[in-house]
């Protein structure tokens, strides 16, 4: 195996278990009122050399486990829900 190429099967398996996966939150602002009305959760793969989320989700589709990675992304995003502002 070429050491420069990522081992997607192994990395995706780990990511689907939640290893190296996190979420960041971007506020959604109602510009008419100037208030935050929600948050967009963005998945990050900071535990890996490849950090581009598009690359990760493309690899998951290629390996037939897109749903598994999407479920982990959603679970990770929802973990912060209790700490988010109530609005």
The sign of the CA dihedral 48, 20, 7, 40 is negative
Other Cβ atoms less than 10 A from the Cβ of 19: the count is: 13
pLDDT confidence of residue 6: 83
Tokens of 60: 């998951």
Strands, E assignment, 1-87: 22-30, 35-44
pLDDT in tens, the chain (87 residues): 445 678 999 999 999 999 999 999 999 999 999 999 999 999 999 999 999 999 999 999 999 999 999 999 999 999 999 998 876
pLDDT value at residue 77:
95
Which helix (H) or strand (E) covers residue 31, if one does? none
pLDDT of residue 3: 57
Q: Cα separation of 35 and 87, whole Å?
A: 9
């Amino acid at each position: 195996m070429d050491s420069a190429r990522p081992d997607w099967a192994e990395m995706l398996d780990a990511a689907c278990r939640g290893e190296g996966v996190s979420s960041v939150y971007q506020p959604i602002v109602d510009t008419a009122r100037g208030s935050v009305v929600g948050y967009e959760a963005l998945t990050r793969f900071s535990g890996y050399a490849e950090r581009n989320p598009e690359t990760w989700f493309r690899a998951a589709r290629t390996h037939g486990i897109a749903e598994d990675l999407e479920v982990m992304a959603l679970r990770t995003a929802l973990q912060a829900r209790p700490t988010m502002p109530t609005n």
